[in-house]
Amino acid sequence: MKKRSLQYGMVLLLVLCAAAPGVMVNRYSFNTGDTSAVDSISAMNGTLMAGAMITGNALQLGGTNPDAYVNLSPRTLDYGPDGYVSLTIEAWFTVNADQAWQRLFDFGDTAADGGGGNCLFYTPTSGSNDQRFVVATNGIPSYSTGEEMVTSTEIATGSPVHVACVFNAATHTMSIYQNGNYMNSNPNITMSLSGVARVYAYIGNAVYTPDPEFSGSISEFRIHDKALSSTEIAASYAAGPDASVITASNPIPKQHAVYVSINPKLQWTGISVGGKGNTYDVYRSKSPTDPNMMLMDAGITDTFYNLSGLANEEVYYWRVDSHIGTDPNVYTGPTWDFTTTPLMPVFSQPPSDTGIVVGQQATLTVVALNPYTADSTGLDYQWYKGLPGDTSTPVGTNDATLTLANLQVGDAGDYYCHVVVTENPTAFANSTSAHVYAITESLINRYSFTDAENTPGHIHDSVGSAHGTMGTQGLAVPGISVTGDALVLSAADPNAFVNLPGGLISGLWDCTLMFWLQIPTHTYDWRYMASFGTTLDDGMGYAYMALMTSSGGQDSRAVITDAQWGGEEIAMLAGGIPANVMTQCAMVFDHTNGEIRIYVDGQPAGDVAALTHQLSVVSPDYSYVGKSVFDPDPLLIGTIDEFRVYDFAMDENWIIEAYNRGPDDANLDPCVARPAADFVKDCVVDLKDFAAFVAQWLDCGLLSCQ
């Protein structure tokens, strides 16, 4: 709160009487540094117009900017369901220039010819040398259709001013006070505030355009929802513009907010007096006139409360009452309102990730239910490339299915569907996103470990750009070397492994990992050809994929999990891959067909495991060759001639082709339509196949061949 002298000669206090307990609803304190007229209670902020400035903790109008004013929300008088029945407007100000009909404030409407009416205004200096508080609800212009008012002595220039104008709706009386003292009244008021137009709301400007803007400074402007009594008027004047707020303010959701969650978090700014002993009671209702609003919680010390289970498309009213320390009084807060979100379409089937070979057609489909019809009729669809909320790249047509014909690499990415109820555009929802993977059916990383390609400490990727290092430092270390065009690992140093870029396989749909390697006799102590994932603080692996030469279960394994080892999906080769001989080992993660497969020297080996996890579950933190993401596991000992990563799930034809060509030739041309009599699996039928057939026939005997 700003600090100002409380020695004001006069204070303006405009009061309209209400029967219900009243509170301050809007407060504009015009603190230096504000770039707008900040409402610290209800967040109904105003806009500084035509050069209006806030300096010296006051709103400065007139002078070098004679047209300056503040534009308030037209809904400023819409407190409660039908607007104010009675209200209090309170302001501290100084008049700088004696301009007839200048306005301190004006609420109403303006006709095309500039005439004003259906208004409520106050002028400190009328054309009849008096101050006036006026209500006029018989049309435009008000000066000819009829005005009702109370007047008093004109406000002098150059000094802070206090005037109190009381409009008592129950007694039909308007009265004026000045410096906390009664000045005059009119007991014959017939008009009501309901006739005041909600079109324009100004501080310092008139709805009758020929009248001048206010010339002076305003240090505080407040609106209450009741007629303050003469005692309250005197107390407010004595307390001055810097008096502490004793009711909750700054509601979240903001006053009149829309599209609010049905499980909202209500927040407010606490009262600025009392200290740590202050508590709050939270009420809500579906009617602002309900005298018995539902108490949600009492005596809470927090300045927030979580609501839940509200209905869609409903207006809710809420209030926060304050208790100051041990003060027995309850300080009733303003009633705020918000509107919950409309009923939204519900997705019974969101789009699913898919992997499609480049050049083929990709489709994504949603099934959404219209909340008003309980089926899929009456809905419009718009697909976007990107994450939900990103509308920069619309794609497809108004259809529940998105078709990407002739898929290209650039089409890969996330997609979602925005669904709108045709008859109610405010009822809409976004699906979750689905990722389309573009499979190029190609070799994307190749590590041949040749002497010429690899400098000390570094490992070269001859196809992609995922170059690696020896260990974590990228320096030559004991226990690892590139020698004789092969990677030699001896586990003689903790850095005797290859560190590849993180996320090497996390962005793939399917993949094939292929090694040519030679290992010594199995020790079955959890040694790894490769592992991808992350390591927790306790050294345990998490969200990983791994290829093991020898596990503690006396086998070789291909595993994947989105958590820790207890959730692994595992393909196992009993006894493990051959030892002491150079071996081709390929492990295939085929999400398209839901399989993990192991091949040794071109042939299927071990069991086939069910695969439900996508490779995207693998953490992108680490990618290792010869090391586990489990810190306690030992490093690999052996020789690796070649390591390859393919972006698709190879079948047996591809695996055999790669095996036949060997580690030095990656130009594969597999047999994709193998002849039925191709017994030796070289994709042709010739004498070699006949010889194999004859040998089998002879083995079975002449009478039977099972």
Helix, strand, coil proportions of the chain in percent (round to 5)?
10, 40, 50
Q: Please state the length of the chain.
A: 706
What does the pLDDT average to over 462-491? 88
Preceding amide of 663 cis, omega within 30: no
Cβ atoms 57, 5 nearer than 8 A? no
Cβ atoms 150, 133 nearer than 8 A? yes
Residue 87 pLDDT exceeds 70: yes
Shortest CA distance to 220 belongs to which of 492, 402, 2, 504?
2
Contacts of 272 (CB under 8 A, 6+ apart): 1, 244, 245, 246
pLDDT tens-digit readout, 608-628: 899 999 999 999 999 999 999
Q: Terminus-to-terminus CA distance in the chain, angstroms?
A: 97
Instruction: Give me the pLDDT at residue 575, please.
Output: 93
Place of tokens 């709108």: 420
| Confidence bin at 244 (pLDDT 50/70/90) | low
Specify the DSSP class assigned to residue 512.
E
Q: Name the phi and psi angles at 107, rounded to 5.
A: -120, 130
Please give the model's pTM, rounded to 2 decimal places. 0.55
What does the pLDDT average to over 418-442? 94
Q: Considering only residues 690 and 214, tell me which one the structure prediction assigns the higher pLDDT.
A: 214
What does the pLDDT average to over 332-354? 91
Shortest CA distance to 451 belongs to which of 414, 492, 488?
488
In the chain, % of residues over pLDDT 90:
63
Place of tokens 């962005």: 507
3-state SS assignment for residue 107: strand
- Rg over alpha carbons for the chain, rounded to the nearest Å, is 40
- Taken in order 388, 393, 396, 398, the sign of the CA dihedral is positive
Cβ atoms 120, 137 nearer than 8 A? no
For strand 53-55 and strand 257-260, is the pairing parallel, antiparallel, or unpaired? unpaired
For strand 498-500 and strand 511-518, is the pairing parallel, antiparallel, or unpaired? unpaired
Instruction: Give me the pLDDT at residue 702, please.
Output: 39
Instruction: Give me the pLDDT at residue 703, please.
Output: 39
d(CA 442, CA 424): 48
Cβ atoms 97, 215 nearer than 8 A? yes
Shortest CA distance to 419 belongs to which of 519, 334, 346?
346
Q: What is the mean pLDDT of the chain?
A: 88
Residue 17 pLDDT exceeds 50: no
- Taken in order 287, 293, 294, 298, the sign of the CA dihedral is positive
Place of tokens 């102590």: 525
Q: Considering only residues 446 and 330, tell me which one the structure prediction assigns the higher pLDDT.
A: 446
Instruction: Give me the pLDDT at residue 168, please.
Output: 84
Instruction: Give me the pLDDT at residue 21, please.
Output: 39
In the chain, % of residues over pLDDT 70:
92
Instruction: Give me the pLDDT at residue 162, please.
Output: 84
Count Cβ atoms within 10 A of the Cβ of residue 379 and give its class: 0-12 exposed, 13-18 middle, 19 or more buried.
buried
Strand order in the sheet with 468-470: 458-459, 468-470, 498-500, 622-625, 527-535, 541-550, 555-560, 569-574
Least confident of 9-23, 52-66, 243-257, 400-414: 9-23
Instruction: Give me the pLDDT at residue 402, please.
Output: 97
Beta-bridge mates of residue 367: 349
Cβ atoms 446, 649 nearer than 8 A? no
Cβ atoms 202, 72 nearer than 8 A? yes
Cβ atoms 12, 104 nearer than 8 A? yes
Q: Name the phi and psi angles at 462, rounded to 5.
A: -85, -10
d(CA 380, CA 57): 52
Residue 12 pLDDT exceeds 50: no
Cβ atoms 214, 232 nearer than 8 A? no
d(CA 605, CA 110): 87
d(CA 668, CA 498): 26
Least confident of 238-247, 285-294, 441-450: 238-247
| Confidence bin at 7 (pLDDT 50/70/90) | very low
Q: Considering only residues 702 and 330, tell me which one the structure prediction assigns the higher pLDDT.
A: 330
Cβ atoms 158, 95 nearer than 8 A? yes
Instruction: Give me the pLDDT at residue 13, please.
Output: 42
Q: Considering only residues 174 and 698, tell me which one the structure prediction assigns the higher pLDDT.
A: 174
